[in-house]
């Protein structure tokens, strides 16, 4: 029998999906992926990622953007943009990028996209039609650092003096400022997006990252992002409170996840894949690098991000790889300078070293004041990771952290038992789901007090709960119908956002039964205009442009 639910608009909301619904998805498994079901449905990378961007043929640009964006602008589906120069979206403008748009960063002019504080980006791709930022160079001629990257600057807090700073690597101006006092700031939506070959050096040794987030607030929605071949860090969080899910790092040069200056958001489900031939000759290359600030002060807000369900594959792969002379690979987890980052339910393998807690303040955060936790993680033992003791801390301290946190440093890669973790070529799509025999198939835990906003267990979080969605009528006058077909009992949220990405209505039906359900929403209180209706369940998220008329 078809179910019908009716909802009325009772007032404007100020939140987004990430802020208004539970964030953490409980899992039994450790790492980023569950036990395989031999279909694509349990692999959240399926369809939108690309593990051979070096040789992918992209079309010829049919539009050129070479000047700052100062008013609301849309790049329509089918557009291939040549991005020239350092392009700021500013003056509170909103840049909307529709599914399937390709943006090719120009190498000669250091093409880059920077969302200034107060402006917004609404880049909502889909699993079948992602948005792609890539190099302007031809297939077979692309390398890390071909163009700039994507920088999003917000108004949330950071711990730098005065709370306002200028993002690194960029010429200092009012447009490059980030920070403020609004931890619930929104910079828009960034979903189902690939960023390939970013990280050009604007000045010697001053590259920008693949995705740079400066004081981005919690009402920004970030999910399903792949950064490939970055010439600097793949993701760097400078303060802020933004949450993120489903992040891929592929063959980056420097650090994979860099957190500093008071970043306190949450990240779940991440995949790191390193290339033995790509490391940072000017420094060192780590999976995680985390600082409270540049000198290790106790300035507040403290860097206290929480990560869970990360699968990190270092350059040594399955032990058959010999690292080149001069390589600068170091640690799966490098936590220093008074950071209080916490990491749960994750797997690291194929790194030279496991975890490095550097300096007394950082060690105190993990042992004395209980502000940081390392728990229920696996550091595989048989890929030249002979010990996790690699720091100024004593062996006894590491032993205490590992024992109290139920961590595992004895399992081998064979024990983890991925489906196809080490294909012969890095350009072949891997499969990091677990085999049924995997020792990582159970043992995860979400009971620590740092897990705030948990989707309760008992609801199957299969990534493909939604089999079909339709919305009608569109344009909408006073009421919109959303027909949702589910293949199982699922948690479903429906959010209507205005053109700036701010949620104006949020419906959460928990749980929603299997089969066809129609959600009727009274939109009579919405002003005429363009909106985005976002239907989400598990990792499936569909956005439908919705026009309200009067």
According to DSSP, residue 140 is labeled T
Over 70: is that where the pLDDT of 432 sits?
Answer: yes
Over 90: is that where the pLDDT of 346 sits?
Answer: yes
pLDDT digits (tens, 9 = 90+) for 37-49: 999 989 999 999 9
Structure confidence at residue 186 as a pLDDT band (50, 70, 90): very high
Cβ(24)–Cβ(539) under 8 Å? no
> Considering only the top CATH level, what class is 3-21+460-548?
mainly beta
Q: What's the N-to-C CA distance of the chain in angstroms? A: 33
d(Cα 512, Cα 515) in Å, to the nearest integer?
9
Percent of the chain at pLDDT > 90 equals: 66
More confident residue, 550 or 235: 235
Over 70: is that where the pLDDT of 465 sits?
Answer: no
Residue 466 confidence (pLDDT): 63
d(Cα 399, Cα 361) in Å, to the nearest integer?
18
Cβ(196)–Cβ(218) under 8 Å? no
Beta bridge partners of 6: 520
Residue 17 confidence (pLDDT): 35
- DSSP notation for 55-67: G---PPPSEEE-S
Q: Which residue has the tokens 């003056």?
A: 91
Q: What are the helix (H) ranges across 334-453? A: 360-367, 395-404, 413-416
Structure confidence at residue 1 as a pLDDT band (50, 70, 90): very low
CA-to-CA separations, 232 to 52, 126, 181, 257, in angstroms, rounded? 19, 27, 29, 11
The two tokens of residue 268 are 């779940």
Q: What is the mean pLDDT of the chain?
A: 88
Cβ(534)–Cβ(494) under 8 Å? yes
Q: Which residue has the tokens 């700036």?
A: 500
Over 90: is that where the pLDDT of 155 sits?
Answer: yes
> Is the peptide bond prior to 281 cis by the omega test (within 30 degrees of 0)?
no
pLDDT digits (tens, 9 = 90+) for 215-274: 999 999 999 999 999 999 999 999 999 999 999 999 999 999 999 999 999 999 999 999
CA-to-CA separations, 152 to 90, 119, 168, 276, 438, in angstroms, rounded? 11, 9, 12, 30, 39
Structure confidence at residue 188 as a pLDDT band (50, 70, 90): very high
Burial of 175 (0-12, 13-18, 19+ CB in 10 A): buried
Helices 395-404 and 360-367, interaxial angle, to 10°? 30
Over 90: is that where the pLDDT of 338 sits?
Answer: yes
Q: Is 396 helix (H, G, I), strand (E, B) or coil?
A: helix
Cβ(362)–Cβ(337) under 8 Å? yes
Q: H or E segment at 432?
A: strand 431-434
Residue 382 confidence (pLDDT): 64
Rounded average pLDDT over 319-340: 92
d(Cα 155, Cα 171) in Å, to the nearest integer?
19
Q: H or E segment at 223?
A: strand 221-228
How many CA atoms does the CB half-sphere of 279 hold within 13 Å?
A: 22
Residue 391 confidence (pLDDT): 52
């Amino acid at each position: 029998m078809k179910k019908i639910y009716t909802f009325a608009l009772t007032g404007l909301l100020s939140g987004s999906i990430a802020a208004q619904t539970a964030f953490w998805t409980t899992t039994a498994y450790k790492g980023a992926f569950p036990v395989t079901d031999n279909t694509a449905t349990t692999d959240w990378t399926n369809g939108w990622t690309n593990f051979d961007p070096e040789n992918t043929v992209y079309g010829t640009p049919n539009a050129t953007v070479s000047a700052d964006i100062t008013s609301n602008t849309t790049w329509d589906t089918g557009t291939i943009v040549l991005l020239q120069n350092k392009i700021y979206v500013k003056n509170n403008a909103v840049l909307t990028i529709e599914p399937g748009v390709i943006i090719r960063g120009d190498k000669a002019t250091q093409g880059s996209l920077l969302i200034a504080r107060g402006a917004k980006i609404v880049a909502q791709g889909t699993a079948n039609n992602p948005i792609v930022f890539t190099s302007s160079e031809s297939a077979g001629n692309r390398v890390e650092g071909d163009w700039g990257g994507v920088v999003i600057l917000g108004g949330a807090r950071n711990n730098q003096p005065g709370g306002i700073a200028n993002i690194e690597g960029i010429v200092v101006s009012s447009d490059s400022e980030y920070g403020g006092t609004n931890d619930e700031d929104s910079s828009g939506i960034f979903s189902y997006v690939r960023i390939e070959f970013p990280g050009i050096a604007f000045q010697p040794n001053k590259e920008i990252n693949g995705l740079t987030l400066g004081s981005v607030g919690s009402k920004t929605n970030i999910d399903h992002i792949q950064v490939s071949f970055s010439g600097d860090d793949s993701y760097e969080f400078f303060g802020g409170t933004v949450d993120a899910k489903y992040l891929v790092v592929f063959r980056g040069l420097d650090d994979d996840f860099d957190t500093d200056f008071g970043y306190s958001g949450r990240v779940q489900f991440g995949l790191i894949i390193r290339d033995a031939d790509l490391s940072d000759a000017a420094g060192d290359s780590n999976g995680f690098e985390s600082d409270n600030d540049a000198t290790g002060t106790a300035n507040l807000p403290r860097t206290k991000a929480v990560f869970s369900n990360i699968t990190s594959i270092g350059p040594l792969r399955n032990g058959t790889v010999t690292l080149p002379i001069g390589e600068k690979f170091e640690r799966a987890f490098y936590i220093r300078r008074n950071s209080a980052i916490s990491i749960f339910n994750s797997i690291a393998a194929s790194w030279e070293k496991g975890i490095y807690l550097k300096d007394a303040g950082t060690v105190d955060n993990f042992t004395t004041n209980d502000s940081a936790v390392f728990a229920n993680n696996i550091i595989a033992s048989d890929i030249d990771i002979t010990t996790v003791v690699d720091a100024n801390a004593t062996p006894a301290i590491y032993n205490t952290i590992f024992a109290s946190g139920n961590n595992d440093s004895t399992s081998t890669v064979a024990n983890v038992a991925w489906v196809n973790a080490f294909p012969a070529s890095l350009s072949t799509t891997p499969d990091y789901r677990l085999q049924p025999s995997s020792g990582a198939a159970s043992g995860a835990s979400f009971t620590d007090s740092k897990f705030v906003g948990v989707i309760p267990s008992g609801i199957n979080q299969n990534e493909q709960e939604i089999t079909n969605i339709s919305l009608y009528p569109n344009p909408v006058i006073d009421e919109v119908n959303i027909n949702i077909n589910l293949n199982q009992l699922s948690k479903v949220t429906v959010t209507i956002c205005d053109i700036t990405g701010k949620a104006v209505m949020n419906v959460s039906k928990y749980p929603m039964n299997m089969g066809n359900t129609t959600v009727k929403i009274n939109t009579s209180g919405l002003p005429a205009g363009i909106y985005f209706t976002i239907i989400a369940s598990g990792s499936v998220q569909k956005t439908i442009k919705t026009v309200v008329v009067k």
